[in-house]
Chains A and B, each alone.
Chain A
Amino acid sequence: AAGVIQSPRHLIKEKRETATLKCYPIPRHDTVYWYQQGPGQDPQFLISFYEKMQSDKGSIPDRFSAQQFSDYHSELNMSSLELGDSALYFCASSHRSGGDTDTQYFGPGTRLTVL
């Protein structure tokens, strides 16, 4: 079965640079969630989109922005990167309009390292 796809899988950036992370949800899934998992930490919710509109906002810094496009893929844009942004960034998708509304399926993550 198709899964959530994230790209790139690994990304190395310098401080103050920008980064763009991409997420392709499972086909027919209409909702995308972004989570940040620091080293040895639990995933922390950043932001979510439903039908291309922002649905909920968590602990996302103002330096980050995200959007969901017409094909339902989502991009997380991160600017003025800081060392503390080094983490694993997970995307998850769900089919809110379907029967399995509340189950989120996670992608493999993008490991961002800021030097």
Chain B
Amino acid sequence: AQSVSQHNHHVILSEAASLELGCNYSYGGTVNLFWYVQYPGQHLQLLLKYFSGDPLVKGIKGFEAEFIKSKFSFNLRKPSVQWSDTAEYFCAAGNYGGSQGNLIFGKGTKLSVKP
């Protein structure tokens, strides 16, 4: 069955600390991978995406993610977090070029950044 798992439910960091959020997927066929961020009370915003090509993808707000096919992983990283990064982060997977295209989300990781 297709699934996305995020290792950490809640991560607490101080400002300027480095961040890595884990994401593993189980998906048949070629997969598209996404990270979305949901700030408190707001909707999902796309941080970055991987379709093909360079496995290191850069997104908005200084975030990046690395696709490691052998590990079925797509971990999100940021070298130095800010208080404004406090939010919930969702990893998601979808069919590559599929006619369906619905996303499967992980359970999310809450990030709290202490000022």
* Interface positions of A (Cβ within 8 A of B): 31, 33, 35, 41-45, 48, 50, 55-56, 58, 90, 92, 94, 96, 101-109
What total count of A-B pairs have CB within 8 Å?
64
A103 touching B46, Cβ below 8 Å:
yes
* Interface positions of B (Cβ within 8 A of A): 32, 34, 36, 42-46, 49, 51, 90, 94-108
Query: Do A102 and B96 form a contact, CB below 8 Å, given A42-B90, A42-B108, A90-B44?
Result: yes
A102 touching B32, Cβ below 8 Å:
yes
A42 touching B105, Cβ below 8 Å:
yes
A70 to chain B, nearest CB (A): 21
Can you offer 26 A-B residue contacts whose CB atoms are under 8 A?
Answer: A33-B101, A33-B103, A35-B103, A41-B107, A42-B90, A43-B90, A43-B105, A44-B105, A45-B104, A48-B101, A48-B102, A50-B99, A55-B100, A56-B100, A56-B102, A90-B43, A90-B44, A94-B101, A96-B101, A101-B97, A102-B32, A102-B51, A103-B34, A106-B36, A106-B43, A108-B43
Q: CA–CA, A105 to B96, complex, Å?
A: 16
Q: CA–CA, A101 to B32, complex, Å?
A: 11
Q: CA–CA, A102 to B51, complex, Å?
A: 9
A55 touching B44, Cβ below 8 Å:
no
Cβ–Cβ < 8 Å partners of B97 in chain A: 101-102
B43 touching A48, Cβ below 8 Å:
no
Query: Do A55 and B99 form a contact, CB below 8 Å, given A43-B90, A105-B46, A106-B44?
Result: yes
Nearest chain B residue, comparing its CB with the CB of A50? B99
B46 touching A33, Cβ below 8 Å:
no
A109 touching B96, Cβ below 8 Å:
no
Cβ–Cβ < 8 Å partners of A44 in chain B: 105
**The one of B32, B44, B101, B108 that contacts A31, using a Cβ cutoff of 8 Å:** B101
A30 to chain B, nearest CB (A): 11
B27 to chain A, nearest CB (A): 13
Q: CA–CA, A13 to B95, complex, Å?
A: 36
Q: CA–CA, A45 to B78, complex, Å?
A: 29
Nearest chain A residue, comparing its CB with the CB of B100? A56
A107 touching B43, Cβ below 8 Å:
yes
